[in-house]
Amino acid sequence: MENHLLNLAKELGFKTEIQYFDYIVESYINGQRRQVTKLFKAMLVADQKEFLCNYLNKDNPNQSKIFNICISSVFDYIDYLYKHIN
């Protein structure tokens, strides 16, 4: 079975999924909020959940802000679906 997250990581020259997660955090630290959203949206839902629930440390101020950006993109998508269903 293909590992989507590992493929995303390899496309960016990384060897592991954790390096992809690290890159999302580094993108935020470097002020690349749109890139954070883009990288997050590229993941499958299961990988997004892993990133949000198990990787990010919500006690870390930077990482809690990343959490908020990612959750916001999830709600934007839900809003988009709702508007197009109704």
Residue with the larger pLDDT of the pair 10 and 72:
10
Q: Do 28 and 66 touch, CB atoms closer than 8 A? A: yes
Task: Average the pLDDT over 67-80 and give the result.
Answer: 86
Q: Which residues contact 32 (CB under 8 A, 6 or more apart)?
A: none
pLDDT digits (tens, 9 = 90+) for 14-65: 999 999 999 999 999 999 999 999 999 999 999 999 999 999 987 888 888 9
* Nearest Cα residue to 45 out of 78, 68, 16, 19: 78
Quote the pLDDT of residue 2. 66
Number of structural domains found in the chain: 1
Task: Give 13's DSSP letter.
Answer: T
